Structure 1
Amino acid sequence: MTTVGFVGLGIMGAPMAGNLVRAGYRVRGFDLAEKGPRSLLEAGGETAASIAETVNGVDAVITMLPDWPQVEAVTFGPEGVLENVKPRVLVIDMSTIRPQTSRRIAEAGHTRGVRVLDAPVSGGEKGAVDGVLSIMVGGDADDFESAKPLFDALGKTVVHVGPHGAGQTVKAANQLVVGGTYALVAEAIVLLEASGVDAGTGLDVLAGGLAASRILDLKRKTMVAREFAPGFRIDLHHKDMGIVLSAAREAEVALPTAALVAQLISAARQQGYGSLDHSALLKVIESFSGRKASL
């Protein structure tokens, strides 16, 4: 595969498309906003004026969009991806969406002779920029092997996790753990500060012990400093927790901690923090005790 059509050049998609260019692929991209296509051009890629033009004659298509309605709008219909690609082309959705939408796309692709994978990612904007994303892939094993060189240009951990939709289920589990960890780190900061202990020092110790996590590694300093520039917005994590709860209902399992995390993230959104990084859960936890940053 040498030519890739890339639909969705946002905070994640633009650096991912740029990494594909740097890996030697010819990349043609499309986005409704101007910033992403401009970034792709600067990286040496090409842009298109429509989805149909983006996917015309390509070997693979990648979509990276906010939610399932956008993915369905881009994928289906006369101007959509499936109606404008050739048979055997790989259509890879790397958005985080409902598993049932991924399965629907796979079924529609099968009737057209198009190969489909769901391949959501974890790692945030920094992971996308550095090309070290974790990629969890659902679909046929042979199609995964065909797409592996593409994934290797985008991520560090690339795993085929099961059939169509399985990638999205694993991503839902990922978002549950991430959201819960942010909530616990936020509570730790509030406890440390309220007890007169330097939170930065305390978290440094935690990061070197059993409580260590990728979130502590990357975010403890910015959380203590109350710097919440978005790497992954509360609004998007709110959407993802809806996917978690829906998946739990479909699987007929009770996930009480998931429900609590979803409520905390919903509270952050309702308090006006939707555009901030999901580490801004700290602001919600602080509000429970009527506390503000002790800076």
Structure 2
Amino acid sequence: MSKIGFIGLGIMGRPMAGHLLDAGHELVTVKRGSLDATLAEKGMREVASPAAVAAEAEVIITMVPDTPDVEQVLFGEDGIIEGLKPGTLVIDMSSIAPMPTQEFARRIHEAGGEYVDAPVSGGEGGAINAALTIMVGATVEGFERAHPILEVMGKTITRIGGHGAGQTCKVANQIVVALTIEAVSEGLLFASKAGADVAKVRESLLGGLAQSKILDVHGERMINRTFDPGFKIKLHQKDLNLALEGARTLNLALPGTANAQQLFQACAAHGGEDWDHAGIVRALEELANHQIGQS
């Protein structure tokens, strides 16, 4: 069993840390308000700073919102690098920009650590059920060291390539997810506006070529009007910004991604940045002057 530092106990991080505790690992985190009672009961401890976490841990996992947050935790005042011991494995499971990830990896390696980028897909449900898809950028050695820990939290764990490759895969994932949520929204909105029983339309589509996990999970959210996150629109906006910034660098057009980002922005303008990303349907409903399920 390992001594693991876990920084970032949000919607996804809490259940992920819980699985590691259940597996017998010893966990320490940075004190931020009140520690989740369940994690405290399982033995998670708190210390004052990321540097203090690093001083105690053999493995450090970060699960924070954005690229600047990872940089601050790693290299800011009292950051991980200040307490990093030689040989420490640093696993960043946040969803951040690929190019800075490569620089973070270089700096951690120069300080004597091993860096792995390992963003996840599967949402809150995947985190709770330890069924996340984990996309890894690492050296072969780093991947082999990280794998036994990652498999406690995930179901599909794939080394995509070297440092930054996991983050590149996650950006691609977020493009596909956003466009698929938009497609499901448009399909169900069309069916509802045409007067069909939208629940039965969804049931039928789940048996055909249009079947997808997004149609299953997010289609149900749209019909039932349950937009508590899951995965917040503002976080998906952040991921699509990474996609569009990367596309400009690559001289690549991503028109569907740009359109999905505009719909997310419309949601945010209506106070919906903290809605689940299935809430993109509400922007389309506004344009149609029709809500799914209305007669």
- Matched position secondary structure for 2:64: coil
Distance in 2 between residues matched to 1:33 and 1:240, nearest whole Å: 27
Q: What amino acid is aligned across from residue 99 of structure 1 in structure 2?
A: P
Per-residue CA deviation, residues 78-115 of structure 1 (Å, 9 max, x unaligned), is 41112211011100110001112211110101211111
Structure 1: runs of 5 or more not aligned = none
Number of equivalences: 294
2:185 is the counterpart of 1:186: yes
Select between 264-273 and 228-237 the one with higher mean Cα deviation. Answer: 264-273
CA 1:78/1:87 → structure 2, altered by over 3 Å: closer, same or farther?
A: farther
Distance in 1 between residues matched to 2:35 and 2:193, nearest whole Å: 43
- Matched position secondary structure for 1:216: helix
Distance in 1 between residues matched to 2:243 and 2:73, nearest whole Å: 23
1:261 offset after TM fit, Å? Answer: 1.4
Q: Does structure 2 conserve the Cα–Cα contact (< 8 Å) formed by 1:48 and 1:54?
A: yes
Distance in 2 between residues matched to 1:14 and 1:182, nearest whole Å: 25
Q: Does structure 1 conserve the Cα–Cα contact (< 8 Å) formed by 2:181 and 2:218?
A: no
1:223 offset after TM fit, Å? Answer: 1.2
Q: Does structure 1 conserve the Cα–Cα contact (< 8 Å) formed by 2:267 and 2:279?
A: yes
2:152 is the counterpart of 1:153: yes
Aligned equivalent of 2:29: 29
Q: Does structure 1 conserve the Cα–Cα contact (< 8 Å) formed by 2:198 and 2:293?
A: no
Q: What amino acid is aligned across from residue 240 of structure 1 in structure 2?
A: D
1:24 offset after TM fit, Å? Answer: 1.4
1:163 offset after TM fit, Å? Answer: 0.9
Aligned equivalent of 2:175: 176
Aligned equivalent of 2:8: 8
Q: Does structure 2 conserve the Cα–Cα contact (< 8 Å) formed by 1:56 and 1:85?
A: yes
Distance in 2 between residues matched to 1:43 and 1:266, nearest whole Å: 40
Q: If the length of structure 1 is used for normalisation, what is the TM-score?
A: 0.96
CA 1:14/1:31 → structure 2, altered by over 3 Å: closer, same or farther?
A: farther
Q: What amino acid is aligned across from residue 26 of structure 1 in structure 2?
A: E
2:4 is the counterpart of 1:17: no
2:148 is the counterpart of 1:136: no
1:58 offset after TM fit, Å? Answer: 1.3
1:219 offset after TM fit, Å? Answer: 2.4
Question: What pairs with 1:46-61 in structure 2 (closer than 5 Å)?
Answer: 46-61=45-60
Q: What amino acid is aligned across from residue 16 of structure 1 in structure 2?
A: M
1:76 offset after TM fit, Å? Answer: 0.1
2:295 is the counterpart of 1:292: no
CA 1:125/1:163 → structure 2, altered by over 3 Å: closer, same or farther?
A: same
1:293 offset after TM fit, Å? Answer: 4.1
Q: If the length of structure 2 is used for normalisation, what is the TM-score?
A: 0.96
- Matched position secondary structure for 2:83: coil
Q: What amino acid is aligned across from residue 82 of structure 1 in structure 2?
A: I
1:158 offset after TM fit, Å? Answer: 0.3
- Matched position secondary structure for 2:204: helix
CA 1:201/1:35 → structure 2, altered by over 3 Å: closer, same or farther?
A: farther
Q: Does structure 2 conserve the Cα–Cα contact (< 8 Å) formed by 1:230 and 1:277?
A: yes
Distance in 1 between residues matched to 2:91 and 2:227, nearest whole Å: 31
Structure 2: runs of 5 or more not aligned = none
Q: What amino acid is aligned across from residue 167 of structure 2 in structure 1?
A: Q
1:244 offset after TM fit, Å? Answer: 0.8
1:211 offset after TM fit, Å? Answer: 0.6
Question: What pairs with 1:77-226 in structure 2 (closer than 5 Å)?
Answer: 77-226=76-225
